[in-house]
């Protein structure tokens, strides 16, 4: 079985037509037909069946296509990794992060890194806490910012980067909007705008309210910091958000007030797969992150 046969097979399977596949491969139609025939003879099965003027995969052909596409993708990744090894400045970093860090932190970190590594590419993927863990474990991303930073995990290694304060936010006409700081229990009778279940900021806010002696009244739930901030600014309730999520992105902005009691913070870390070396370009970025956040402390 030759690699050329696998490429021809995938192309015919996608085009469902030998002539069209041959045109895209820039080879003779007879060469494509011959390679497919030899592949079927070696496997001892029919991979295609005629349907009108087109070719259709047989059930076993569909199974074979799934496996072959995976093999060719792994091969392409291997070639890419070799190129990265030879020149990490031409590599790509696959980075995951929660939405709340995409407003300010990620753009700041990436722009700073690219000052000295202008040719490095980034592929970003946003997600919730459990999604980011899964993406790292399954190799969808090389590194992921995550909050809270897990203390121990069987499959990922976590390194703490920074601790961020959360502020109370409220409409500009709220009675407490002019205060320099407040106690969280001063909001016990207010309607809260919270992230829905599954977002890491929700339990942080919920537990802070419990610590202050009350259970928050949920008025609205959202999935993005822009939504939370906008609903609060529009007078739909109050909430708590980290400072990095409060950079102005529209004319409608809530007022932020420091919470003096209890002190509400979130930890932010970077995770990677345990017992596995990072691709060279991702390792360069990882070392940059350690230095970058060390200087901020």
The three-class DSSP label of residue 9 is helix
The CB density around residue 278, as the number of other CB atoms within 10 Å, is 16
Closest CA to 140 of 119, 153, 156, 154: 156
pTM: 0.69
In the chain, what's the furthest Cα-to-Cα distance? 81
For 45, 97, 106, 244, the CA distances from 102, given in Å and listed in that order, are 50, 7, 5, 9
Output the CATH code of domain 91-161+271-296: 3.40.190.10
pLDDT digits (tens, 9 = 90+) for 57-81: 999 999 999 999 889 888 887 887 7
Specify which residues 290 forms β-bridges with: none
The CB density around residue 175, as the number of other CB atoms within 10 Å, is 8
Closest CA to 14 of 43, 74, 57: 57
Residue entry with tokens 């052909």: 61
- Quote the pLDDT of residue 161: 94
Contact 184, 212 (CB under 8 A): yes
- Quote the pLDDT of residue 279: 86
Backbone torsions φ then ψ of 144, nearest 5 degrees: -145, 130
Burial of residue 232, with CB atoms counted within 10 A of its CB: 0-12 exposed, 13-18 middle, 19 or more buried: buried
Pick the CATH number of 163-266 from 3.40.190.10, 3.40.50.720, 3.40.50.1220, 1.10.1200.10: 3.40.190.10
Helices (H), 16-58: 18-25, 29-43
- Quote the pLDDT of residue 246: 87
- Quote the pLDDT of residue 34: 92
Burial of residue 131, with CB atoms counted within 10 A of its CB: 0-12 exposed, 13-18 middle, 19 or more buried: middle
Output the DSSP codes for 159-181: EEEEEEEEEEEE-TTSTTTT-SE
Do the domains 163-266 and 3-86 match in fold?
no
Q: Where are the domains of the chain?
A: 3-86, 91-161+271-296, 163-266
Helices (H), 185-263: 201-211, 225-233
Closest CA to 73 of 7, 124, 20: 7
Backbone torsions φ then ψ of 162, nearest 5 degrees: -160, 160
- For residue 262, whether the previous peptide bond is cis, meaning omega lies within 30 degrees of 0, is yes
The third-level CATH classification (topology) of the domain covering 3-86 is: Arc Repressor Mutant, subunit A (1.10.10)
Listed in sequence order, the residues at least 6 apart from 285 whose beta carbon sits closer than 8 Å to its beta carbon are 93, 95, 113, 117, 120, 143
Residue entry with tokens 């021809």: 8
Ranges of residues in the chain whose predicted pLDDT is under 70: 83-86, 249-250, 297
How many Å separate Cα 151 from the centre of its chain?
20
| Torsion of Cα atoms, 209 then 212 then 214 then 219, to 10° | -30
User: Inter-axis angle of helices 18-25 and 29-43, to 10 degrees?
Assistant: 110
């Amino acid at each position: 079985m030759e690699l050329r046969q696998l490429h021809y097979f995938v192309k015919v399977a996608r085009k469902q037509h030998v002539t069209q596949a041959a045109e895209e491969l820039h080879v003779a139609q007879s060469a494509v037909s011959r390679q497919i025939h030899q592949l079927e003879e070696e496997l001892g099965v029919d991979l295609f069946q005629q349907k009108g003027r087109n070719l259709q995969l047989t059930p076993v052909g569909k199974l074979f296509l799934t496996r072959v596409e995976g093999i060719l993708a792994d091969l392409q990744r291997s070639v890419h990794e070799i190129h990265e090894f030879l020149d990490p400045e031409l590599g790509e970093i696959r980075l995951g992060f929660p939405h709340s860090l995409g407003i300010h932190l990620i753009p700041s970190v990436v722009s700073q890194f690219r000052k000295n590594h202008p040719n490095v590419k980034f592929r970003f993927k946003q997600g919730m806490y459990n999604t980011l863990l899964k993406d790292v474990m399954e190799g969808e991303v090389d590194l992921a910012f995550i909050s809270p930073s897990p203390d121990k995990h069987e499959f990922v290694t976590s390194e703490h980067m920074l601790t961020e304060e959360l502020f109370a936010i409220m409409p500009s006409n709220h009675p407490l909007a002019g205060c320099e700081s407040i106690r969280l229990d001063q909001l016990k009778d207010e309607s809260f705008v919270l992230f829905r279940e599954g977002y890491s900021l929700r339990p942080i806010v919920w537990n802070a309210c419990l610590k202050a002696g009350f259970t928050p009244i949920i008025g609205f739930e959202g999935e993005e910091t822009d939504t939370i901030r906008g609903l609060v600014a529009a007078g739909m309730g109050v909430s708590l958000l980290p400072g990095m999520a409060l950079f102005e992105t529209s004319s409608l902005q809530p007022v932020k007030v420091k919470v003096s009691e209890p002190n509400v913070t979130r930890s932010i870390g970077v995770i990677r797969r345990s017992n596995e070396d990072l691709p060279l370009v991702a390792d360069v970025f990882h070392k940059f992150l350690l230095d970058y956040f060390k200087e901020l402390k």
